[in-house]
Structure 1
Amino acid sequence: MPPKSTYRPDPRMETSGLPLFDRVAAADFPQTILRYRNDRAAASIGLDMSDTEWIAHFGRFQPLPDNLPEPLALRYHGHQFRHYNPDLGDGRGFLFAQMRDGADRLLDLGTKGSGQTPWSRGGDGRLTLKGGVREVLATAYLEALGVNTSKSFSLIETGEDLRRHDEPSPTRSAVLVRLSHSHIRFGTFERLAYVNDRLALGNLTRYVAELYYPELARLEGPDLTHALFDAVLTKTAQLTAQWMCAGFVHGVLNTDNMSLTGESFDYGPYRVLPHYEPGLVAAYFDEGGLYAYARQPDAVFWNLHQLARCLSLIGDSAPLIDSLNAFTDRYQTAMAETFCRRLNIVSQGLEADTALLAAGFKVLETLKPQPRSFEGFFFDWFGGVMSEGRALSGPRAEAYTTDAGLMWRERLKGYTTADPDRLDHPFFTRPDPATLLYDEIEALWAPIADRDDWSLFEAKLAEIDDYRTALALNP
């Protein structure tokens, strides 16, 4: 593969000296059928190749030029539904490559379903094709809605029949590659704290700061520890607000699924709200509703508390507690900012924005019985008062004439449109937004499963990409 001049390999993990990985080999799959490739993401890291080359690198995992010679399965622990599990780690994935993008950010190419590792715990190390399809859709949709998310880079069907207890078996298999800013997790720190390796904790803190928070790299010792935690907490509060304003239910908000860069990744049993439903859960096994939609901020705060406990081994507790105590305010600020950004309106200050946010969610409550009403609200009012005529002539118009709707419209009068030109996009002549509801995913999966017909999947991705272009929200 002749890489572009913008391809800048930088395999930092291998030379970090940190006890965070094991060298592994990818599974030898019976087949490699390319089902999805993200050329826009590939261009961002200087990769341009034929389908044959793509499959060689992302289905057979031939090393990229001047990159990791062998994949690295990462070590971590984690709290799963608030129960500590010291037997985690990359059980069906690995770090495949690291490189810089045009903004000089270090990015990872990591896998899911690439075979067994020392951390597989008896599992087969594989990914179902349906699971891969769901993750491709999730990342595309959340990116469109402005969520800081990993990007699904490649999906290749691998020709094996898998057996799973929670879906019809045998089922088809795949290997997914994701592009993300980092695969360092809260659980990475938890593992080092568990074995009381304070030297490695300090070195990991330095590694994360230098690569992902360079503005902190001048600091040393406890000052660096406290500043890094504070920065991670802020980014995590912002991510949580983005989930909430996207109506996204993660499903498994365990500490091993929380990134040090404040990026959403690793999508399993997720849901997107069809309408405002605080108690909606994504995972059938979340019987107590621990990770329900409205409880996600609490779950994230609990996870941050676990990270702070780890960092207290190399820092003072008081500053870490101060940061934890600031989470609610930072999350509320992020909610107000994200709400305005989602609506393409100019902020009028925290007090006014918070009141507008409350009025908006009151309207969402009245919209509850209507399908696609959660995203429909943001779609109807994208652009603020400039879209009032569109909202009042659309399928959700009746809700905007209720007492809650009238209060909302009155508060919205004080806001100007941030970018009026976005409303010229043809997508806003439609009555409804692009959505990614559970039934839609099931409907597009059925023809894939029954007759290998990918047309509905491809059409949904095209619709989501059109919506992404119209909203222009992606970070």
Structure 2
Amino acid sequence: MTDLPQASTYRADPAILELGDAFYDPVEAADFPQTILRFRNQRHAEAVGLGDLSDADWLRHFGRFVPLPDNLEQPLALRYHGHQFRVYNPDIGDGRGFLFAQMRDGAGRLLDLGTKGSGQTPYSRFGDGRLTLKGGVREILATEMLEALGVETSKTFSLIETGEALERNDEPSPTRSAVLVRLQHSHIRIGTFQRLAYFEETDNLARLTDYCLRHYYGEEGGAPGRLLDHVSGRAARLAASYIAAGFVHGVLNSDNIAVTAQSFDYGPWRWTPFWDGGFTAAYFDHAGLYAFGRQPEAIHWDIVQLAASLRLIAEAEELTPALEGFPARFQEALRDAIFARLGIARGGDDEDGRLLIALESALARRTVEIDRFFFDWRGGRRRGPSPADAAYEDEAFADFRARIAAFDPLPGATDHDYWSDAAPQSMHIDEVEAIWSRIDEADDWSALDAKVAAVRRMGGAMRAA
């Protein structure tokens, strides 16, 4: 599991300026009627040396977007294209967000502070550049749950209500507005490379490749094959972590895949209650392109688009191994992710594979919810009593019961008192809607605060192993 961030001093590093103005457009933030602080991610603020900011300064920087010291003097809307549901779109880019600042954390990683809902840019087209408060609340819940489950995700850094009434076609309107700031390990996307390839800007493709290898992978030389190999490996782990978490991103377009393969940009996400390969998150995903079980395929397809872009500066022989190796990397990563969530040690490859097949076969019967299953079998031994006890005795679980008995628990796998709770934490749509209803109807934020605390407690239990 990922470790908690460690406190660090503030170290500004606006490295994006190395690329030059062919990659971005300076923009102005919207002038909001109000700035009301609704969420402040203190533990990640401390990780980038901003934990000591007063709330007033927090609002100045992340609601009014006064520049941070020695950082970007003006926000930058990043330029990119992308395939959206497999249709190429050259008319997109940062349409309601921008890159606000870059800095190093305690491990020396280059991190971005980017926005969502911060106003119109040259790429807004017909959009208002705004974010609904509900959308911001949903992003808090998604990122907190994913982080707790060990998924490499952007972090919701700040949410500020902005006092505007927004009209939306897909939810009751008018609705409240907000501006969100996310902390992320790069906002460079596969779509960033696609745009340069579209315009045949080979020099800029090479420059971007070198930038990404140097700042995100610690390599000099700018070899396109090396970059593709890194991105493919991390993307395989991302796809595997989604499956182990039971998470459905909803919109895995090539402009939503970062070059670091860190999950971000949460719109119509869902957690599937059951192991249902056809479960979709987006009501407009009529073909199930980004359904739960098709997410590895979708992410691999996006990696192929990165390879196609890099073909302008590399031979096919240099790029092919990273593409062909994706399925095996995904399978290996899926075993790691499933075993980590179960809290058991890996055995031999054959035994691990057979256990995974037995697990998927049992869960595919949809008699036990995913969160309940991993909670009840934490440490590789059935704990109880559980509402699912009858299902576990069914023939559908016989192979799984027999095989998991041979695996050892990880040290500390069940030491945390979370594993003695009556029920596991989950993030299903009814609970998300209930949390939002209390905010919308009574401005009651207590349910959100309690849920974030409970999810973080689960994350602590997961990390104990």
TM range (shorter): over 0.9
Name the CA shift for 1:9/1:201 in 2 (closer, same or farther; >3 Å).
Answer: same
Q: Show the counterpart of 1:63.
A: 67
Counterpart AA for 2:346: S
Distance (Å, rounded) in 2 between the aligned partners of 1:34 and 1:341: 36
TM-score by length of 2: 0.96
1:456 maps to 2:452: no
Q: Which letter maps to 1:80?
A: Q
Counterpart secondary structure, 1:245: helix
- Aligned AA (1:411): R
Asked if 1:185 corresponds to 2:189, the answer is: yes
1:442 match: 433
Quote the Cα distance in structure 1 between the aligned partners of 2:166 and 2:8. 40
**Residue of structure 2 equivalent to 1:171:** 175
3-state SS in 2 of match to 1:424: coil
Do structure 1's residue 35 and structure 2's residue 38 form an aligned pair? yes
- Note if contact 1:129-1:173 (Cα within 8 Å) is conserved in structure 2: yes
Say which SS state the counterpart of residue 9 (structure 1) adopts.
Answer: coil
User: Equivalents in 1 of 2:464, 2:277: separation in Å?
Assistant: 24
Q: SS at the partner of 1:107?
A: strand
Match status 1:401 vs 2:401: no
Judge conservation of contact 1:29–1:160 (CA < 8 Å) in 2.
Answer: yes
Deviations, residues 60-83 of structure 1 (Å, cap 9, x unaligned): 111111111111110000000000
Aligned-residue Cα RMSD (Å) equals 1.4
Partner residue, 1:78: 82
How many residues are matched?
458
Query: Percent of pairs identical after alignment?
Result: 54
What SS is found at the alignment partner of 1:8?
Answer: coil
2:340 maps to what in 1? Answer: 341
Deviation of residue 457 (structure 1)?
1.2
Q: Would the aligned equivalents of 2:133 and 2:177 in 1 still touch at CA under 8 Å? A: yes
Separation in structure 1 between the aligned mates of residue 274 and residue 405 of structure 2, nearest angstrom:
25
Matched residue SS, 2:207? helix
AA partner of residue 454 (structure 1): W
In structure 1, C-alpha distance between the alignment counterparts of 2:464 and 2:144, rounded to whole Å:
12
Higher mean displacement: 450-459 or 157-166: 450-459
Q: CA–CA distance in 1 between the matches of 2:387 and 2:302?
A: 40
Task: Give the letter aligned to residue 192 of structure 1.
Answer: L
CA distance in 2, matches of 1:209, 1:5: 24
The one-letter amino acid of 2:194's match is: E
Q: Does residue 470 in structure 1 map to residue 461 in structure 2?
A: yes
Asked if the contact 1:146/1:473 (under 8 Å) is kept, the reply is: no
Task: Give the corresponding residue for 1:12.
Answer: 15
For the pair 1:383 / 2:383, whether they are aligned, the reply is no
> How many Å separate the matches in 1 of 2:353 and 2:34?
53
| Aligned counterpart in structure 1 of residue 160 of structure 2, from 156, 161, 166 | 156
Evaluate the alpha carbon distance shift between residue 170 and residue 433 of structure 1 in structure 2; reply closer, same or farther with a 3 A threshold. same
Measured in 2, the distance between the counterparts of 1:429 and 1:330 equals: 35
Segments ≥4 residues shifted beyond 6 Å: none
Q: Is the 8 A contact 2:289 2:298 kept in 1?
A: yes
Q: What secondary structure sits across from 1:73 in the alignment?
A: strand
Q: SS of the counterpart of 2:180?
A: strand
Pick from 137, 148, 169 the counterpart of residue 144 of structure 1.
Answer: 148
Q: 3-state SS of the aligned residue for 2:274?
A: coil
Residues 411 and 183 from structure 1, CA distance in 2 versus in 1: closer, same or farther, beyond 3 angstroms? same
**Structure 2 runs not aligned, ≥5 long:** 1-6
- Give the whole-Å Cα distance in 2 for the aligned partners of 1:210 and 1:394: 50
Q: Which residue of the partner structure matches residue 95 of structure 2?
A: 91
Q: 1:5 to 1:352 in 2, by over 3 A?
A: closer
Deviation at 1:473, TM superposition (A): 7.7
The equivalent residue for 1:213 is 217
SS at match of 2:364: helix
Cα separation, 1, equivalents of 2:23 and 2:334: 34
Structure 1: distance between partners of 2:322 and 2:122: 36
Q: Describe the shift of the 1:473–1:333 C-alpha distance in structure 2 as closer, same or farther (beyond 3 A).
A: farther
Give the alignment's TM-score, normalised by structure 1: 0.94
Is the 1:7–1:99 Cα contact (8 Å) retained in structure 2? yes
1:78 counterpart letter in structure 2? G
SS of 1:276 mapped into structure 2: coil
Identify the residue that residue 356 of structure 1 maps to in structure 2: 355
- The gaps in structure 1 that reach 5 residues or longer are none
